[in-house]
Amino acid sequence: MDSIWIKGGNRLEGKIPISGAKNAALTLLPCALLTDEKLTLTNLPRLADVDTFSHLLNQLGVSTSVAGVKKGEYGRRMTLQADDIASTVAPYDMVRKMRASVLVLGPMLARAGESTVSLPGGCAIGDRPIDLHLQALECLGAEIELAAGYVKASAPKGRLSGGDYSFPVVSVGATENALMAAVLATGRTQLFNAAREPEIVDLCNLLVAMGAKIEGIGSGHLIIDGVEGLNGTTYEVMPDRIEAGSYACAAGITGGSIDLIGARPDDMRATLNALAHAGLMLEFHDKGIKVSADAPLKPLALSTAPFPGFATDMQAQFMAMLALAQGDSFLEETIFENRYMHVPELRRMGASIDIHGRSAIVHGVEKLTGAQVMATDLRASMSLVLAGLAAEGETEVLRVYHLDRGYERLEEKLSAVGATIERRSTG
């Protein structure tokens, strides 16, 4: 088992290239199921989650090939092709490893007329049921059966018919599944109160490039007119707004200056607004965003919300940074009910944080101290790395397989801007 070792106290300065977005990649990959032609994705991040998803697609009959990457380059070029769908069953042993696996449900149903997917099971950051996915598919004409821990969906006439569905709450995953199912339906589908995240826009843009007909892209009202079939294409995965925000927090917590090459301001306005209110300087240029911390950090009041609000995936990183702010910060987590599991670990490093239900008060302290800490989920693990970068002494972050799910070559990128950080094998 590997761990990340950090000697804190270095001011970070330099350039960090932003990789392709994990959350977009896991949405674009299942689009290969919608056509028998080749789909090539470029700027695909090298992450454990991407590998897990491609293995699932292999089991379903999708061939995958990866082009070689030159040393020092980031991202991959993967070509996927589903001549035939060999299996319409996504088994538990694959789905349990990653909740995003449920995103094969919609495209497989649309292409093959049936799909059987294991229920995802529990999640470290709280209960995330898929009832909205199933309700949306039923409105498109699917028949749903739940049995023995599996969802079996079928289209009675071999194809979905399309229909209207209004999401009672915004759901990114359910919007994605419904979109991929609707593009091959026989009629028109309207999705109301649909998620508006940049990753949804990326999915829509890929589907349109494959021949889908979608109106309202970027809004909460999506109109999809089903087509007979989709074609293959080559498409570049969008840059990762959460990775960019995480490294921006690294600049903030170390009093540094980091140029985020490839970051797109429009995708992360709420994060940039919060950074500016915390006292960081932002410079926008044609290659990305430069984030600099030239003054003490200011406290913030933040509440997570669906896009364009402040992303829940940035909450833990901001909490780590605000642990060193001058004053008390208030954070409210509205998306997931169990997303403060990093708090006890930050406290081990000297952070002063009070939890009251879904609210947290972060009392800024003078310094953090290195310690051995344990990651509990992907973004929580990044918050511990950030704390370690600023802490006095040495920090060891255990369970770094969480980090490998969402941050491409983390140690290499941070080392390049002056961090003393390395991966160690614990046997």
129 and 272 share a domain?
no
Map residue 174 onto helix, strand or coil: helix
Q: Any binding-site annotation on 413?
A: no
Q: What is the pLDDT of residue 94?
A: 82
229 and 340 share a domain?
no
127 and 205 share a domain?
yes
264 and 232 share a domain?
no
249 assigned to active site: no
pLDDT tens readout for residues 8-27: 999 999 999 999 999 999 99
Q: Any binding-site annotation on 56?
A: no
Q: What is the pLDDT of residue 329?
A: 98
Q: How confident is the model at residue 1 (pLDDT cuts 50, 70, 90)?
A: confident
Q: Any binding-site annotation on 130?
A: yes
Closest listed residue to residue 319, CA positions, set 362, 355, 258 = 362
Q: Any binding-site annotation on 335?
A: yes
Q: Any binding-site annotation on 286?
A: no
Q: How buried is 168 (Cβ within 10 angstroms: 0-12 exposed, 13-18 middle, 19+ buried)?
A: exposed
Q: Is the pLDDT of residue 327 over 90?
A: yes
Q: Which of 31, 123, 139, 204 is catalytic?
A: 123
The label of the residue with tokens 């088992």 reads 1
Cα dihedral sign, 28-30-32-33: negative
Looking at every residue in the chain, the average pLDDT score rounds to 94
Q: Name the phi and psi angles at 67, rounded to 5.
A: -75, 150
Q: Any binding-site annotation on 132?
A: yes
Domain boundary among 180, 203, 236: 236
Give the H or E element holding residue 107: helix 105-112
Instruction: Tell me the average pLDDT across 63-87.
Output: 87
pLDDT tens readout for residues 368-378: 999 999 998 88
Tokens of 280: 């960081």
Closest listed residue to residue 311, CA positions, set 245, 227, 234 = 245
Helix/strand/coil percent split, the chain, to 5: 35, 25, 40
Q: What is the pLDDT of residue 123?
A: 42
228 and 299 share a domain?
no
Q: What is the pLDDT of residue 97?
A: 78
pLDDT tens readout for residues 334-387: 987 767 889 999 999 999 999 999 999 999 999 999 999 999 888 899 999 999
193 and 208 share a domain?
yes
97 and 205 share a domain?
yes
Of 125 and 277, the structure prediction assigns the larger pLDDT to: 277
Instruction: Tell me the average pLDDT across 164-175.
Output: 96
Interior angle at CA 27, CA 22 and CA 30, nearest 5: 125
Strand order in 281-285's β-sheet? Answer: 13-17, 257-261, 288-292, 281-285
Q: How buried is 186 (Cβ within 10 angstroms: 0-12 exposed, 13-18 middle, 19+ buried)?
A: middle
Max Cα-Cα span within the chain? 66
User: Is the link from the previous residue into 168 a cis peptide, with omega within 30 of 0?
Assistant: no
Tell me how far apart the alpha carbons of residues 328 and 186 are, in angstroms, rounded to a whole number. Answer: 55
Strand partners, 315: none
Count CB-CB contacts under 10 A for residue 188. Answer: 16
Domain boundary among 236, 257, 274: 236
Q: Is the pLDDT of residue 130 over 60?
A: yes
In one-letter notation, the amino acid at residue 319 is: M
pLDDT tens readout for residues 249-288: 999 999 999 999 999 999 999 999 999 999 999 999 999 9
For residue 40, what are the domain limits?
22-236
Tokens of 56: 């699932």
91 and 198 share a domain?
yes
Q: Any binding-site annotation on 355?
A: no
Domain count of the fold of the chain: 2
Q: Is the pLDDT of residue 79 over 80?
A: yes
272 and 322 share a domain?
yes
Tell me how far apart the alpha carbons of residues 180 and 183 are, in angstroms, rounded to a whole number. Answer: 6
Tell me how far apart the alpha carbons of residues 318 and 265 are, in angstroms, rounded to a whole number. Answer: 18
Per cent of the chain over pLDDT 90 is: 85
Do residues 193 and 307 touch, judged by C-beta distance below 8 A?
Answer: no
159 and 257 share a domain?
no
Domain boundary among 236, 270, 296: 236
Strand pairing of 114-118 and 257-261?
A: unpaired
Map residue 246 onto helix, strand or coil: helix
Q: What is the pLDDT of residue 71?
A: 67
Q: What residues contact residue 390 under an 8 Å CB cut-off, 6+ apart?
A: 8, 9, 253, 254, 324, 368
Tell me how far apart the alpha carbons of residues 136 and 333 are, in angstroms, rounded to a whole number. Answer: 26
Strand pairing of 420-425 and 2-7?
A: antiparallel
Tell me how far apart the alpha carbons of residues 421 and 419 are, in angstroms, rounded to a whole number. Answer: 6
Q: How confident is the model at residue 75 (pLDDT cuts 50, 70, 90)?
A: confident
Tokens of 30: 């299942």
Half-sphere exposure (Cβ direction) of 367: Cα atoms closer than 13 Å: 8
The whole model's pTM is what? 0.95
Q: How confident is the model at residue 74 (pLDDT cuts 50, 70, 90)?
A: confident
Q: How far from chain centre, in Å, is Cα 329?
A: 25
- DSSP H helices in 294-356: 315-322, 343-348
Closest listed residue to residue 385, CA positions, set 268, 373, 290 = 373
Tokens of 262: 């490839």
> Distance of CA 282 to CAs 257, 276, 293, Å?
10, 7, 9
CATH number reported for the structural domain that contains residue 104 in this entry = 3.65.10.10
Closest listed residue to residue 77, CA positions, set 238, 236, 264 = 236
121 and 257 share a domain?
no
54 and 13 share a domain?
no
Tokens of 66: 């990866």
Strand boundaries in 178-251, DSSP class E: 188-192, 213-215, 221-225, 233-236
Do residues 15 and 261 touch, judged by C-beta distance below 8 A?
Answer: yes
Q: Is the pLDDT of residue 220 over 60?
A: yes
Q: Is the pLDDT of residue 113 over 50?
A: yes
